[in-house]
Amino acid sequence: MRLFDLDKWEEILQTITRNKSRSLLTAFGVFWGVFMLVFLMGGGEGLKRLMARNFEGFAQNSCFVMPGTTTKAYKGFQSGRSWTLELADVERIRRSVPGVETVTPMTARWGVNVWRGETKGNGTLKGIRADYARIEDPHLTYGRFITEADEREYRKVCVLGKRIYEELFPGVDNPCGLYICVDSIYYQVVGVSKMTSNVGVMGSAERSVMVPLTTMQRIYHYGDQVQTLGFTARRGVTVTEIQDRVESVIKRAHFIAPDDGQAVFMFNMEALFRMVDNLFEGIEILVWLIGVGTLLSGAIGVSNIMMVTVRERTSEIGIRRAIGARPGSILRQVMAESIVLTVLAGLAGITFAVLMLQGLETIVASTGADVSFQISFRMAVGAAAVLAVLGGLAGLAPSFRALAIKPIDAIRDE
Amino acid sequence: MSLIHLENIHKTYHAGAPLHVLKGISLDIERGEFVSIMGASGSGKSTLLNILGILDNYDEGEYRLNDVLIKNLKESRAADYRNRMIGFIFQSFNLIPFKNAMENVALPLFYQGVGRRRRNALAMEYLERLGLRDWAHHLPSELSGGQKQRVAIARAIITHPQIILADEPTGALDSQTSVEVMELLRRLNEEGMTVVVVTHESGVAYRTHKIVHIKDGLIGKIEENPNPGASPFGEGGLMK
């Protein structure tokens, strides 16, 4: 049997177009199923990528400590006491918790005005140490990151976040060496970071102005106090495993009751990552369930309609058999009809879904995020192949019913 | 060697109570004969026709068509034999409603794998022979009963079958067209085609050369009709 036999295709086309509205409605079931599956999968993937950007460059095995208010009286202190972290805590943790790798203190001032001449931007001033780069990859576009020498010498240098850089230096290719001004203090720009993460405890990385911690402490008279401690775990150790040790070290040092659950805030990135991962896994399962379910019901619809069609065509099939159509030829015809209908509907569904995803991408892109929502070509081809198989399966029952038609029954059927 | 050789054919239907329809039919039809099988409804003549047309199996006996034993054939084999050896003409024409006359006539050739162009050219040739050239591109619903039956005849003879089986070919036609159709069959027979007509109308039967009377599943008598045109029923379209 030649695949590109014009007659066979004509036969198939003729039967499909004979009852256009019915074929169309049947095809719609498959169309919608494929559309749902592809669109939801593309959308889910895109959402995941969008979400992943918030974590990009962020060490997953990290945790942040922030002070809260005590809720229990302990060692002569009343409950409801505020306390602060101090630089010495870095050393304490490093000494007492063997699993930690990096411990780095941070301080921030939110909502500061950042000036460059007459241009004003709004951002977060962050005092950090050089080893902060171990927690979040700075992704430098220009220059360098804060170094230990900067800290030692209290240099007034800064690394700008992407947005701040774009606002203050429009049209300037490389701002390194130029100056910005925060709270009447001038800092020399030494680097530009394109960190995009939105996690962590100090706000958006894109709007940050990072300066050496020591410089900031001195300028704002913070003394030994720091706002946040970030730490990462060694390879082979999870942050969750050492989190409790860190907490108890901090609590002992600051006279906090060991069973006080409110006094120390721990932001465990690992747990957060895991949660988001689980969430997307759940979404993916849901997408598959919905998509495959819809597709399946579409295919069953095709099968059902083909059943009706075969019944309607009983006499025609009988005539064909009487004048010499072999059973195989009838079988192939019904199968081919089912496959053609399913595949055509499915391809339309894929095309429509791809167009919709493209639209979604354009909309998302207009908000500044550059994320691909599109499904891969491999997946599209795979979907088409699955559709062909599905169409074949849908055609099985009707074509066997067609086979069961005996020429005499059909001829007598008037 | 006769073209059709039936020997002691038995057929029982098993729908509910077993119904013994054919009770030992033995019949020979020679090449070039024009035979009618006549009987009342329920006599088993249609069953006999189905067996002759390889549309149905039989339980006992032997059926040889052109010296080929036709017994318990596989469906695809039976389809091939039907396609190449037998031309069917039915009471209700049985044309495919969404195909035009030419496509209907060409259909048996499609199942022989004949190319589209040759197929359609042959179909046109046969339609022309039957005077339907101008109707070739009309759908069956646009044709009259006589025209439909002529299309069906064209479809039956396009494969040059060994035999033409006509099942009540005039059953759905008025007497005038019935005469025309019978005339067509007679002409085909004169050209050398073996024609078997199944009917319950004696007017039709007496237009053939040999009448096989069948009654209650057995052959009653075989009547020679040497002068079919002289039959009193056949004159002036008064067959019925």
Residue of chain B whose alpha carbon sits nearest to that of A404: B75
Structural domain contains residue A200:
yes
- Euclidean distance between CA atoms B93 and B191, whole angstroms: 23
- Euclidean distance between CA atoms B182 and B150, whole angstroms: 11
CATH number of B4-224: 3.40.50.300, 3.40.640.10, 3.30.70.360, 2.60.120.260? 3.40.50.300
Q: Do B82 and A322 touch (CB under 8 A)?
A: yes
Contacts of B192 (CB under 8 A, 6+ apart): B32
Q: What are phi and psi of B39, to 5 degrees?
A: -175, 165
Which of the pair, B229 or A140, is modelled with greater confidence? Answer: A140
Residues A46 and A174 in one domain: no
Chain B residue numbers with beta carbons less than 8 Å from the beta carbon of A4 are none
Residue with tokens 């549309």: B55
Q: Do B96 and A407 touch (CB under 8 A)?
A: no
Structural domain contains residue A37:
yes
Residue B102 is given by DSSP the state H
Residues A172 and A218 in one domain: yes
Residues A292 and A207 in one domain: no
Q: Do A319 and B79 touch (CB under 8 A)?
A: no
Structural domain contains residue A1:
no
Residues A132 and A185 in one domain: yes
Residue B212 is given by DSSP the state E
Q: Using the 3D structure, point to which of A268, A291, A308 is the last residue of a domain.
A: A268
Task: Confirm if B208 and B29 have CB atoms less than 8 A apart.
Answer: no
Query: For strand A62-67 and strand A264-268, is the pairing parallel, antiparallel, or unpaired?
Result: antiparallel
Chain B residue numbers with beta carbons less than 8 Å from the beta carbon of A316 are 96-97
- Euclidean distance between CA atoms A207 and A161, whole angstroms: 5
ipTM of predicted assembly, 2 dp: 0.88
Nearest to A324 among B79, B90, B167 (CB): B79
B88 touches chain A (CB under 8 A): yes
Structural domain contains residue A210:
yes
* Segments forming the whole domain that contains residue A172: 62-268
- Specify the amino acid at residue A300: I
* Contacts made by residues A15-18, CB under 8 angstroms, sequence distance 24+: A15/A309, A15/A313, A15/A333, A15/A337, A16/A337, A16/A340, A16/A341, A18/B98
Q: Do A322 and B88 touch (CB under 8 A)?
A: yes
- Euclidean distance between CA atoms B7 and B26, whole angstroms: 4
Residues A231 and A279 in one domain: no
Structural domain contains residue A118:
yes
Task: Confirm if A213 and A127 have CB atoms less than 8 A apart.
Answer: yes
- Euclidean distance between CA atoms A277 and A271, whole angstroms: 10
Residues A83 and A224 in one domain: yes
Task: Confirm if A70 and A263 have CB atoms less than 8 A apart.
Answer: yes
Q: What pLDDT score does A198 carry?
A: 66
Q: What are phi and psi of B119, to 5 degrees?
A: -60, -50
Cα dist from A378 to A290, A357, A375, A390, whole Å:
21, 16, 8, 18
Q: Using the 3D structure, point to which of A268, A300, A318 is the last residue of a domain.
A: A268
Structural domain contains residue A357:
yes
- Give mean pLDDT, residues B145-164: 91
Residues A283 and A377 in one domain: yes
- Euclidean distance between CA atoms A125 and A112, whole angstroms: 7
Which two three-digit tokens encode residue B167? 């099942």
- Euclidean distance between CA atoms A411 and B194, whole angstroms: 22
Buried b (16+ CB within 10 A) or exposed e, A63-74: bbbbbeebebeb
Buried b (16+ CB within 10 A) or exposed e, A14-27: ebbeeeeeebeebb
- Euclidean distance between CA atoms B239 and B81, whole angstroms: 33
Residues A193 and A308 in one domain: no
Q: What are phi and psi of A363, to 5 degrees?
A: -65, -45
Which two three-digit tokens encode residue A95? 């000494």
Residue A340 to chain B, least CA–CA distance (Å) = 20
- Give mean pLDDT, residues B80-93: 90
Cα dist from B109 to A78, A156, B104, B148, whole Å:
103, 94, 10, 19
Residue with tokens 């409950």: A79
The pLDDT > 90 percentage for chain B reads 34
Residue with tokens 């939110």: A110
Residue ranges for chain A with pLDDT beneath 70: 1-5, 198-201, 368-369, 410, 412-414
Q: Is A231 exposed, middle or buried (0-12, 13-18, 19+ CB in 10 A)?
A: buried
- Euclidean distance between CA atoms B1 and B12, whole angstroms: 28
Q: What pLDDT score does A85 carry?
A: 92
Q: How does pLDDT run across B175-215, given as a tens digit for each residue?
A: 888 888 888 899 899 988 999 999 888 888 888 889 999 98
Q: What pLDDT score does A54 carry?
A: 74
Q: Do A326 and B155 touch (CB under 8 A)?
A: no
The answer, yes or no, to whether residue B235 has pLDDT greater than 90, is no
Which two three-digit tokens encode residue A295? 């597709």
Q: Do B53 and A322 touch (CB under 8 A)?
A: yes
Contacts of B49 (CB under 8 A, 6+ apart): B37, B165, B167, B196, B198
Q: What pLDDT score does B236 carry?
A: 47
Evaluate the CA torsion angle A243, A244, A249, A253 in order and state its sign. Answer: positive
Within the 7-46 window of chain B, which residues sit less than 8 Å (CB to CB) from chain A?
A: none
Residues A122 and A173 in one domain: yes
- H-state helical runs in A313-376: 314-322, 327-366
A7 touches chain B (CB under 8 A): yes
Evaluate the CA torsion angle B85, B91, B96, B101 in order and state its sign. Answer: positive
Q: What pLDDT score does B10 carry?
A: 92
Nearest to A324 among B80, B95, B97 (CB): B80
B113 touches chain A (CB under 8 A): no
Task: Confirm if A212 and A155 have CB atoms less than 8 A apart.
Answer: yes
Contacts of A170 (CB under 8 A, 6+ apart): none
Q: What pLDDT score does A209 carry?
A: 92
Structural domain contains residue A247:
yes
Least confident of A14-23, A32-41, B101-110, B125-134: A14-23
Q: What are phi and psi of A276, to 5 degrees?
A: -65, -40
Contacts of A204 (CB under 8 A, 6+ apart): A124, A161, A163, A198
Return the ∠ at Cα A379 (arms to A373 and A380), rounded to 5°. Answer: 90
Structural domain contains residue A155:
yes
Residues A19 and A70 in one domain: no
Number of domains composing chain A? 2
Residues A103 and A152 in one domain: yes
- Euclidean distance between CA atoms A324 and B111, whole angstroms: 6
Q: What pLDDT score does B230 carry?
A: 55
Chain A residue numbers with beta carbons less than 8 Å from the beta carbon of B97 are 316
Residues A152 and A293 in one domain: no
- Specify the amino acid at residue A386: V
Mean pLDDT score of chain B: 87
Task: Confirm if A294 and A33 have CB atoms less than 8 A apart.
Answer: yes
Q: Give which of A312, A319, A405 to mutate to test B binding, by max B Cβ within 10 Å.
A: A319
Contacts of A385 (CB under 8 A, 6+ apart): none
Q: Using the 3D structure, point to which of A253, A268, A283 is the last residue of a domain.
A: A268
Residue of chain A whose alpha carbon sits nearest to that of B161: A323
Using pLDDT thresholds of 50, 70 and 90, give the confidence band for residue B92.
confident
Q: Is B7 helix (H, G, I), strand (E, B) or coil?
A: strand
**Helix, strand, coil % over all residues of chain B, rounded to 5:** 40, 25, 35
